[in-house]
Chains A and B, each alone.
Chain A
Amino acid sequence: MRGRASSLRRSQLFQGFPVSNLDDLESQSIYIFREAFNRLENIAMLWSLGKDSNVMIWLARKAFFGHVPFPVVHVDTGKKFPEMYAFRDHYAKAWNLNFISGTCPPIDEIDPSLPPAARSAARKTEGLKRLVETHNFTGLFAGIRRDEQATRAKERFFSPRGEGGRWDFRDQPPEFWDQFKTDFPPGTHLRIHPLLQWTELDIWRYTQRENIPIIPLYLSKDGKRYRSLGDQDITFPVDSTASTIDEIITELETTKVSERSGRAMDHEAEDAFERLRAEGYM
């Protein structure tokens, strides 16, 4: 009885004490949002409409107490799933976002030496480049994660992009003790990655805990679901019976299939994704 009483007291004393790994991730992401908002002049958030960027918007609202104090940008390839456009139109209003839509150039303006799917994905890089130039953005939040892909695993939280959005992965700035590189010469912009340290599993656990809306394409229909969403023609569903978020979490705890296995552009050549990213792809 005695032990029970003291543990009860302890839990009352520590009510609200963060115990979960998700609380740590949330706190770190909020810190990054607030640093970027304070240090940079003209920032915006990239919203791909996927599970990660919805978590990212949620975290921004936590960081700024219900507000998203910068534009939210969707770089539209024009080839997304109808469910994605419906989601976008609804939540841009519901969440009171300062929404900007960017367009992408046609495929024949893109480097023909790229493998086909990568070339298609590169349209988005080009659209993004034009958007940055038009609006003079000096910082863009992007919802990439280290566990998604090996070159993303080498990213920084604050990642400088040179002329034309190029990523100099051979000479990245040091980043430690949460001191980020926020000083840079004109012509550079920063990609800021608040979700870099999150895993796919963290994203789903957090989505469930916070009750964040998602596009239904992630849930299994006829034995298949999308694990990652991109352009309709280069994104494929994977075998799955997970039709609720709970089931997705259970599936991910044991699966050995990689998250981006349904994204064609990653698999065309050994360095396809590296080349895309060096040119400014997320």
Chain B
Amino acid sequence: MSGLKDMLKIVMVGHVDHGKSTLVGRLLHDTGSLPDGRYEAIKAMSERRGMPFEWAFLMDALQAERDQGITIDTSQIWFKTPKRDYVLIDAPGHKEFLKNMITGAAASDAAVLLIDAHEGIQEQSRRHGYLLHLLGVRQVAVAVNKMDMVGYSEERFREIERGYMAYLASIGVKPTFMIPVSAREGDNIVEQSAAMPWYDGPTIVGALDAFASVTKPIDLPLRLPIQDVYKFDERRIIAGRIEAGSLKVGDELLFSPSNKRARVRSIEAWNTSSLPEQAWAGQSVGITLDEQLFLERGEIASHAAKPPVETDVFLGRIFWLGHHPLKVGSRYKMKLNTFETQVEVQAIKHVIDTGDLGESSAEQVERHAVAEVVMRARRMIALDSFSTLPRTGRFVLVDGYDIAGGGIISMEGYADQRSLITVASTNVTRVKHEITDTLRAERNGHHGGVLWFTGLSGAGKSTLAIEVEKRLFNKGYQVYVLDGDNIRHGLNANLGFSPEDRAENIRRVGEVSALFGRAGIIAITAFISPYRSDRDRAREAGGERFHEIYIHADLETCEQRDPKGLYKKARSGEIKDFTGISAPYEPPESPELTVDTSRHSVDECVDQILDYVDRHFSLSGQRAVREIRTGSR
């Protein structure tokens, strides 16, 4: 019984006209893999066009491709060596057809990247190298082609080798081999070339056979994205493909982001003598559960001990294929495995020049560019960092009807929000309070609530908070400032400065300030709170009593003020992940109030805030609280 043979998919990439299709033709011919009559057919096609024998016509099946001598779309062909079976994927090298190159390269396990010895390293040589890296293709052989055109010169080969190795090293790729070849003449394809005695490395076929086989990620944590739920008969079957890990009958599964749990009752199958007890990565399965949960396509099943990250914001390293540029504020449909949601481009961190790897800031990402962007969703997404779990760490963006880009996920600097949104204690019943909000407000003469100050370090949050507290107190308000001092030393003394701890810090401040508000007091919080997700959660806790006040000052001003010398330390690298310098600040989208401390004095800003409080908290509009009290006596 065969079918057990090892199979590897190899993509041919590189700049246009550097000989990818020719190499495929040569490989097929020299390994005796061409069907009968194919060689003759190619010969006839070449003659009909008055050309010398053109190997590329094997793969360039379209008339337009043959007539223009250019590969438009990716193609695949099968061949085998004594060691194993191969699928060769030919990818177009013309910039215009980058989407087809990606289609081919993303399907591969390993790559051969061609560079024309005569022309040397070109734009697409670099871009394709970079994209392979981004697509997760880690095994790369570089073929320096057309050596016959440079007199089989070792010097020329070494020169290209040095240049390209340096480039690959800078993007973290270590090529498996560098091979001087002539695809047209058949040098170092199957047979060692007599014209290049100075080269003693493997031929192309030798390099292919030396690539490692692909293994399935069965040792990684379980990830089973739900593809569909079937009810064709009495069974309610959850269908999907296991992307990583394995599962057994009886396992408890955690579904994210709904955070529901159930046990696997059975693994279903058709036309088998007995049902399987276990299933592994790579298998399309169907399972039934011991509880009838309402589950939707897009949820990811995992084991509870190693769940995916939950977040509504993440960093994406993307390639853009859209006809319209990607812009800050644009919305796209994001697909991550079977999950779909609307996302917004919150920021473009930088656009990466794949030629010199320079990073520049930009307002938009043009077609065929690579960039690092911050994406935000309106709901929680279950995902993983690409570096830990590639198959649940990548996504595509859909613009209108079209797939317009793809990217890999990094959670660097962003917190896993799972612990922040999961209610651990479930046996708590609410006690109804008999003192109502109205009773409290009537006694105090004002409503309770939260003034949530957010802004960069040095923007003036603490200064304003202390000043506003004093002035409000003098006017008769019940008011209290929560800041790093009274929170970090007590309630949050057990928290450090990891992204998760910072998020937890803000979550607790949000909850405590909400309690203050409910108690009838005005709580002023003075924390940078740079992430929108964290502030949104505080707003959820505070409800309608929550008032977000953006204490705005531009970075330059803040850095000049630098009251605690923190910017200096951040610039010198002494402090890592410092907001505004080495970590993002996400400004509020629609704060209740913005005060600009770079344009107004402290007193002016305090007046603005006081005016706001009088209008929104006082029981009788503009009038100060004390006046109300005296008036009622």
Partner of B61, one of A16, A185, A274: A274
Within 8 A of A (CB), among B32-53: 34-38, 45, 48
Which interface class (under 10, 10 to 19, 20 to 34, 35 or more) fits A? 35 or more
Pair B230/A177 contact, Cβ less than 8 Å: no
Cα A167 to Cα B230 with chains together (Å): 33
Within 8 A of B (CB), among A191-207: 197, 199, 202, 205-206
Closest 4 A/B residue pairs (Cβ): A150-B61, A176-B106, A174-B99, A30-B284
Pair B401/A174 contact, Cβ less than 8 Å: no
A174 to chain B: closest CB distance in Å?
4
Pair B73/A27 contact, Cβ less than 8 Å: no
Cα A102 to Cα B76 with chains together (Å): 32
Partner of B276, one of A16, A20, A21, A154: A16
B504 to chain A: closest CB distance in Å?
33
Write out the residue numbers on chain B whose beta carbons fall within 8 Å of the beta carbon of A166. Answer: none
| Contacts A/B (CB < 8 Å), 8 sampled | A18-B282, A21-B4, A26-B284, A38-B228, A65-B270, A174-B100, A175-B403, A176-B135
Against B, the Cβ 8 Å flags (1 = close, 0 = not) of A149-162 are: 11101101000000
Write out the residue numbers on chain A whose beta carbons fall within 8 Å of the beta carbon of B87. Answer: 197
Q: Is A76 an interface position by the 8 A CB rule?
A: no
8 further A-B contacts with Cβ under 8 Å, apart from A172-B73, A258-B36, are A31-B241, A62-B269, A150-B75, A174-B100, A175-B103, A179-B403, A185-B401, A249-B2
Say which one of B231-239, B376-384, B483-491 lies at the interface with A. B231-239
Pair A65/B268 contact, Cβ less than 8 Å: yes
Partner of A147, one of B45, B78, B106: B78
Q: Is B149 an interface position by the 8 A CB rule?
A: no
Determine the residue in chain B with the shortest Cβ distance to A13.
Answer: B278
Cα A42 to Cα B401 with chains together (Å): 18
Q: Is A112 an interface position by the 8 A CB rule?
A: no
Which of A's residues lie within 8 Å of B, judged by CB? 15-24, 26-28, 30-31, 34-35, 37-38, 61-67, 69, 146-147, 149-151, 153-154, 156, 169-170, 172-177, 179, 181, 183-185, 197, 199, 202, 205-206, 209-210, 249, 253, 256-258, 261, 270-271, 274
B43 to chain A: closest CB distance in Å?
12
Within 8 A of A (CB), among B223-248: 227-228, 230, 232-233, 235, 237, 239, 241
Within 8 A of A (CB), among B250-291: 268-271, 276-280, 282-284, 286
Cα A28 to Cα B72 with chains together (Å): 26
Within 8 A of A (CB), among B80-120: 85, 87, 99-100, 102-103, 106-107
Beyond A21-B7, A177-B106, A181-B403, whether A16 also contacts B75 by CB under 8 A is no
Q: Is B64 an interface position by the 8 A CB rule?
A: yes
Q: Is B508 an interface position by the 8 A CB rule?
A: no
B317 to chain A: closest CB distance in Å?
14
Partner of B282, one of A22, A24, A61, A197: A24
Beyond A27-B282, A31-B241, whether A65 also contacts B103 by CB under 8 A is no
Beyond A153-B61, A169-B62, A174-B102, whether A31 also contacts B227 by CB under 8 A is yes
Cα A169 to Cα B64 with chains together (Å): 10
Write out the residue numbers on chain B whose beta carbons fall within 8 Å of the beta carbon of A177. Answer: 106, 394, 396, 406
Q: Is B529 an interface position by the 8 A CB rule?
A: no
Which of B's residues lie within 8 Å of A, judged by CB? 1-5, 7, 34-38, 45, 48, 58-59, 61-64, 72-78, 85, 87, 99-100, 102-103, 106-107, 135, 227-228, 230, 232-233, 235, 237, 239, 241, 268-271, 276-280, 282-284, 286, 297, 321, 335, 394, 396, 398, 400-403, 406
Cα A150 to Cα B21 with chains together (Å): 13
B93 to chain A: closest CB distance in Å?
16
Interface of B is mostly: mixed
Determine the residue in chain A with the shortest Cβ distance to B60.
Answer: A150
Query: A-B contact count, CB below 8 Å?
Result: 162
Write out the residue numbers on chain A whose beta carbons fall within 8 Å of the beta carbon of B99. Answer: 173-174
Pair A16/B227 contact, Cβ less than 8 Å: no
Partner of B36, one of A38, A149, A257: A257
Pair A172/B76 contact, Cβ less than 8 Å: no
Write out the residue numbers on chain B whose beta carbons fall within 8 Å of the beta carbon of A17. Answer: 280
Pair B228/A37 contact, Cβ less than 8 Å: yes
Pair B282/A257 contact, Cβ less than 8 Å: no
Pair A174/B321 contact, Cβ less than 8 Å: yes
Write out the residue numbers on chain A whose beta carbons fall within 8 Å of the beta carbon of B277. Answer: 15-16
Pair B35/A153 contact, Cβ less than 8 Å: no
Pair A258/B401 contact, Cβ less than 8 Å: no
Write out the residue numbers on chain A whose beta carbons fall within 8 Å of the beta carbon of B396. Answer: 176-177, 179
Pair A34/B403 contact, Cβ less than 8 Å: no
Pair B297/A38 contact, Cβ less than 8 Å: yes
Cα A154 to Cα B38 with chains together (Å): 18
Pair B235/A65 contact, Cβ less than 8 Å: yes
B47 to chain A: closest CB distance in Å?
12
Cα A193 to Cα B7 with chains together (Å): 21
Pair A170/B64 contact, Cβ less than 8 Å: yes
Write out the residue numbers on chain A whose beta carbons fall within 8 Å of the beta carbon of B77. Answer: 147, 153
Partner of A174, one of B45, B227, B403: B403
Partner of A154, one of B5, B74, B270: B74
Pair B270/A181 contact, Cβ less than 8 Å: no
Cα A153 to Cα B35 with chains together (Å): 15
Partner of B100, one of A64, A172, A249: A172
Cα A281 to Cα B276 with chains together (Å): 40
Cα A132 to Cα B228 with chains together (Å): 26
Pair B239/A256 contact, Cβ less than 8 Å: no
Cα A64 to Cα B233 with chains together (Å): 11
Partner of A183, one of B2, B35, B398: B398
Pair B284/A31 contact, Cβ less than 8 Å: yes
Pair B406/A256 contact, Cβ less than 8 Å: no
Partner of B102, one of A18, A156, A176: A176
Write out the residue numbers on chain B whose beta carbons fall within 8 Å of the beta carbon of A61. Answer: 270-271
A56 to chain B: closest CB distance in Å?
15
Partner of B270, one of A31, A62, A206, A257: A62
Write out the residue numbers on chain B whose beta carbons fall within 8 Å of the beta carbon of A170. Answer: 62, 64, 72-73
Partner of B5, one of A21, A23, A169, A256: A21
B461 to chain A: closest CB distance in Å?
43
Pair B76/A146 contact, Cβ less than 8 Å: yes
Pair B402/A34 contact, Cβ less than 8 Å: no
Pair B3/A21 contact, Cβ less than 8 Å: yes
Pair A153/B335 contact, Cβ less than 8 Å: no
Beyond A69-B232, A150-B75, whether A20 also contacts B401 by CB under 8 A is no
Partner of A63, one of B3, B106, B284: B284
Pair A22/B102 contact, Cβ less than 8 Å: no
Determine the residue in chain A with the shortest Cβ distance to B235.
Answer: A65
Write out the residue numbers on chain A whose beta carbons fall within 8 Å of the beta carbon of B4. Answer: 19-21
Cα A62 to Cα B269 with chains together (Å): 7
Partner of A27, one of B35, B102, B232, B284: B284
Cα A125 to Cα B97 with chains together (Å): 29
